[in-house]
Amino acid sequence: MSQFTAGHHAVDELDSRHQLTAADRCDSCGAQAYIRVTMQSGELLFCAHHGAKFKEKLSPTALEWHDETSRLFESN
């Protein structure tokens, strides 16, 4: 489980209100999104690759960083 706290907001990936679905697509490449970043100006969705690529740059100003990339490693 991943959790990132920015300011006073913590997002737990198991919270169903925030869970990403297969319909959520990466804003950079169109792959399935596993990361939702809430910024002052709105939300960004990223696949695992682009989330990792932009995390260092976006984290300082992100209001929330919701990361479900651990789902990629779950076995059914």
The one-digit pLDDT tens for each residue of the chain (76 residues) are 344 544 444 444 445 556 999 999 999 999 999 999 999 999 999 999 999 999 999 999 999 999 999 999 987 6
Asked if residues 1 and 71 have their Cβ atoms less than 8 Å apart, the reply is no
The answer to whether residue 74 is domain-embedded is no
Report how many domains make up the chain: 1
Find, among 41, 42, 45, the residue nearest to 67 by Cα: 45
- Range(s) of the domain holding residue 33: 3-66
The answer to whether residue 49 is domain-embedded is yes
In whole angstroms, what is the distance from residue 47 CA to residue 54 CA?
11
The answer to whether residue 30 is domain-embedded is yes
* DSSP β-ladder status, 9-12 and 35-39: unpaired
**Model-level pTM?**
0.76
